[in-house]
């Protein structure tokens, strides 16, 4: 294959970061060739499947619901969460982190607003952390949900890119898999690879890797935006930080499509690019099997409110800070310390109806479709939203019962480890239920629930404290929670212009990287922990930087 005209820049990967970089390049009048191993149906990559959460600081939405935020508070939270402790590998990541928080506190919202993106009025409180003011977690709600979810985040960049395609500034080469970066005189001069057989498969479906040809393309600049390793379980196992998180789970289910394979990381490293922080990754402990899957091992994450009781595989209730929605990595470590790779939620109908949200644009058709009437009916009406109720009825990880003995019997049928003891579980639930008699409590989870309900956005989502075993709130529900693979936090090290750094610490001429393949900036902008709503934003911020910097490359 040869492009119809000589491109100024080759972009490898048509996900969100690639589209943002391409958008910025076309604004500068550059000709761009976008390569992707999937077909046109997959434009936008895994961002399309996301819930569309965005991290803003001191936004109008926050101020409107009484949340006081600031750059200083957000930067304190980011540093406490990232825990940067590697002078060399975190050198650029620290600078990217501060620049990103500044972006989130200043021009990010307006940049997206000018493109037509809008957010819902209520701000969610995600990843609340471990309880220390200067430690991990968001001190205040910062999770802004896009009106239109992930497809809308993709749309606002895709539409101007497609318009540029019609003008002849952008050319797409789908089913083109890059296998090698061409390096000449110490600089990247283009790419080589294989042409895969055509396919008309729908978005997200695993596609053939049969080659039908080869290609070579040269350009003054190449931007790698190929994503992370989320579906490559072999690479996840190889890089798994057992010293920090415990043994790698035997059972993992995939929160991203099959094409998220991490191939370009190894290819770029072989050419001379530097990978840092390989052991930093972000997987979820609240994964459930999709009863209606799109890709192999397709998993959905429950985005929970704080009220469900969380038990390990042995039936021991998890202690602070391992509450739903608080500290992902601490909870991962606690679960895996048991020697098993799953855990349990125990809750009731009142909790699932208000507090269960499901990750994925397809699991939120009301907000994804920007249908206000449907959204009001779905979110305000009595009962759980339709997709949540469907999982409760059909999901293999769900057990529903009218009594605790019946519930535990059902949970034991799907356990991959110890059989739970009814008396032990009942004792722990009853002890917690006694604590709701007063407005105050020594139960840390109940205190967290009370605190959450002081925010308007959370008060509308979090149910008032009540007895889990109260029949008026039934039936009882047990959910087997699996480890769901998702994000790569390390990656190609880049400077603030998104130039890939070589092993000698110098920028690699002609080569840029953005998005997850670059650890969302600098080879690991999040450090060890993510504050949520920061992955799409990281793709946008680093893609914007890469596009603007590559646009300055001489033709």
- Is the domain of 514 the same as that of 467? no
Q: Cis (ω within 30 of 0) for the bond into 321? A: yes
- Is the domain of 544 the same as that of 448? no
Q: What is the mean pLDDT of residues 537-553?
A: 97
How many CB atoms sit inside 10 A of residue 440's CB? 10
pLDDT at 371: 84
Q: What is the pLDDT of residues 408-463, one digit of tens each?
A: 999 999 999 999 999 999 999 999 999 999 889 999 999 999 999 988 888 888 99
- Point out the domain boundary residue: 425, 460, 484: 484
- Is the domain of 162 the same as that of 176? yes
pLDDT at 380: 65
Q: Is residue 278 part of a domain?
A: no
Q: What is the pLDDT of residues 246-299, one digit of tens each?
A: 999 999 999 999 999 999 999 999 999 999 999 999 999 999 999 999 988 899
pLDDT at 372: 82
- Is the domain of 182 the same as that of 301? no
Q: Is residue 311 part of a domain?
A: yes
Query: Would you say residue 470 has pLDDT above 80?
Result: yes
In the block, residue with structure tokens 């989130």: 104
**Cα(92)–Cα(501) distance, integer angstroms:** 10
Q: Is residue 279 part of a domain?
A: no
pLDDT at 68: 96
**Cα(528)–Cα(89) distance, integer angstroms:** 12
DSSP per residue, 463-508: PPP--TT-GGG--EEEEEEEEEEEEE--EE-B-TT-EEEBTTSSEE
Label each residue of 361-403 as H, E or C.
HHHCHHHHCCCHHHHHHHHHCCCCCHHHHHHHHHCCCEEEECC
Largest CA-CA distance found in the chain, in angstroms, rounded: 74
Strands 476-488 and 309-312: unpaired
Q: Is residue 266 part of a domain?
A: no
- Is the domain of 510 the same as that of 463? no
- Is the domain of 295 the same as that of 432? yes
- Is the domain of 64 the same as that of 178? yes
- Point out the domain boundary residue: 429, 451, 484: 484
**Cα(184)–Cα(162) distance, integer angstroms:** 32
Q: Cis (ω within 30 of 0) for the bond into 357? A: no
- Is the domain of 295 the same as that of 315? yes
pLDDT at 554: 86
DSSP 3-state of 32: strand
- Is the domain of 396 the same as that of 495? no
Calculate what percentage of the chain has a pLDDT beyond 90.
92
Asked if 31 and 8 count as a contact pair (C-beta separation under 8 A), the reply is: yes
How many CB atoms sit inside 10 A of residue 237's CB? 13
Q: Is residue 418 part of a domain?
A: yes
- Is the domain of 476 the same as that of 493? no
Q: What is the mean pLDDT of residues 224-239?
A: 97
Angle (deg, nearest 10), helices 404-414 and 422-434 = 130
- Is the domain of 310 the same as that of 457? yes
Q: What is the mean pLDDT of residues 535-548?
A: 98
In the block, residue with structure tokens 């646009």: 551
Q: φ and ψ at 194, to 5 degrees? A: -115, 145
CB-based contacts of 438: which residues, under 8 Å, 6+ apart?
A: none
Q: What is the pLDDT of residues 138-173, one digit of tens each?
A: 999 999 999 999 999 999 999 999 999 999 999 999
Q: Is residue 544 part of a domain?
A: yes
Rounded to the nearest angstrom, the gap between the alpha carbon of residue 238 and the centroid of all alpha carbons in its chain is 21
Most confident by average pLDDT, 51-60, 294-303, 373-382: 51-60
Q: Is residue 122 part of a domain?
A: yes
Per DSSP, 311 falls in state E
- Name the band, by pLDDT with cuts 50, 70 and 90, for residue 130: confident
Q: Is residue 94 part of a domain?
A: yes
Domain of 159 in residue numbering reads as: 9-227+489-551
Q: What is the mean pLDDT of the chain?
A: 96
Per DSSP, 4 falls in state S
- Point out the domain boundary residue: 436, 464, 484: 484
**Cα(374)–Cα(366) distance, integer angstroms:** 6
Query: Would you say residue 540 has pLDDT above 70?
Result: yes
pLDDT at 377: 74
What's the total number of domains in the chain?
A: 2
In the block, residue with structure tokens 């910062």: 142
Query: Would you say residue 325 has pLDDT above 60?
Result: yes
Asked if 294 and 41 count as a contact pair (C-beta separation under 8 A), the reply is: no
Give the closest residue to 379 by CA, choosing from 392, 366, 370.
366
CATH number (domain holding residue 302): 3.90.700.10
In the block, residue with structure tokens 């936004």: 59
Q: What is the mean pLDDT of residues 90-98?
A: 98
Tokens describing residue 554: 């001489």
Q: What is the pLDDT of residues 495-515, one digit of tens each?
A: 999 999 999 999 999 999 999
CATH number (domain holding residue 517): 3.50.50.60
- Name the band, by pLDDT with cuts 50, 70 and 90, for residue 2: low
CB-based contacts of 230: which residues, under 8 Å, 6+ apart?
A: 46, 236, 254, 255, 256, 260, 485, 486, 487, 488
Give the closest residue to 388 by CA, choosing from 280, 302, 282, 508.
302
- Is the domain of 497 the same as that of 480? no
């Amino acid at each position: 294959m040869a492009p119809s005209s000589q491109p100024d820049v080759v972009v490898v990967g048509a996900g969100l970061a690639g589209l943002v970089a391409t958008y910025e390049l076309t604004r500068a009048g550059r000709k761009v060739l976008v390569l992707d191993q999937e077909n046109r149906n997959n434009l936008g990559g895994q961002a399309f499947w996301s819930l569309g959460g965005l991290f803003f600081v001191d936004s109008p939405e926050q101020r409107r619901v009484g949340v006081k935020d600031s750059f200083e508070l957000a930067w304190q939270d980011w540093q406490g969460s990232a825990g940067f402790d590697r002078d060399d590998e975190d050198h650029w990541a620290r600078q990217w982190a501060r620049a990103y928080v500044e972006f989130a506190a200043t021009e990010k919202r307006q940049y997206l607003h000018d493109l037509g993106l809008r957010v819902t009025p209520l701000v969610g409180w995600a990843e609340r952390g471990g309880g220390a003011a200067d430690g991990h977690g968001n001190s205040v709600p910062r999770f802004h949900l896009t009106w239109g979810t992930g497809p809308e985040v993709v749309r606002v960049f895709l539409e101007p890119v497609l318009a540029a395609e019609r003008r002849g500034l952008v050319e797409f080469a789908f089913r083109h898999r890059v296998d090698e970066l061409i390096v000449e005189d110490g600089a990247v001069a283009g790419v080589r690879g294989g042409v895969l057989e055509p396919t008309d498969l729908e978005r997200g479906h695993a596609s053939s890797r049969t080659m039908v040809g080869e290609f070579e393309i040269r350009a003054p600049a190449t931007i790698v935006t190929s994503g992370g390793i989320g579906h490559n379980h072999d690479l996840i196992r190889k890089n798994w930080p057992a010293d920090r998180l415990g043994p790698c789970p035997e059972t993992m289910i995939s929160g991203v499509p099959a094409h998220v394979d991490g191939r370009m990381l190894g290819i770029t490293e072989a050419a001379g690019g530097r990978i840092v922080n390989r052991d930093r990754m972000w997987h979820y402990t609240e994964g459930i099997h999709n009863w209606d899957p799109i890709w192999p091992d397709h998993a959905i994450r429950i985005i929970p409110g704080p009220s469900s009781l969380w038990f390990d595989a042995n039936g021991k209730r998890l202690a602070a800070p391992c509450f739903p929605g608080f500290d992902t990595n601490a909870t991962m470590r606690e679960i895996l310390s048991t020697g098993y790779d799953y855990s349990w939620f125990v809750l009731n109908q009142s909790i699932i109806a208000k507090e269960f949200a499901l990750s994925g644009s397809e699991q939120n058709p009301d907000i994804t479709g920007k249908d206000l009437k449907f959204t009001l009916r779905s979110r305000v009406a009595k009962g759980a939203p339709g997709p949540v109720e469907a999982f409760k009825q059909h999901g293999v990880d769900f057990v529903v019962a009218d009594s605790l003995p019946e519930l535990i019997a059902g949970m034991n049928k799907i356990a991959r480890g110890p059989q739970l003891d009814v008396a032990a579980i009942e004792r722990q639930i009853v002890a917690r239920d006694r604590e709701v008699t007063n407005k105050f409590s020594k139960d840390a989870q109940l205190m967290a629930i009370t605190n959450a309900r002081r925010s308007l956005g959370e008060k509308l989502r979090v149910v008032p404290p009540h007895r889990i075993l109260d029949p008026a709130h039934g039936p009882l529900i047990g959910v087997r929670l699996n480890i769901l693979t998702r994000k790569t936090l390390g990656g190609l090290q880049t400077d603030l212009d998104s130039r890939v750094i070589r092993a000698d610490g110098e920028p690699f001429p002609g080569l840029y990287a953005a998005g997850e393949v670059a650890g969302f900036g600098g080879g690991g902008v999040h450090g060890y922990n993510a504050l949520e709503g920061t992955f799409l934003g990281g793709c946008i911020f680093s893609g914007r930087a890469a596009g603007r910097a590559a646009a300055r490359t001489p033709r």
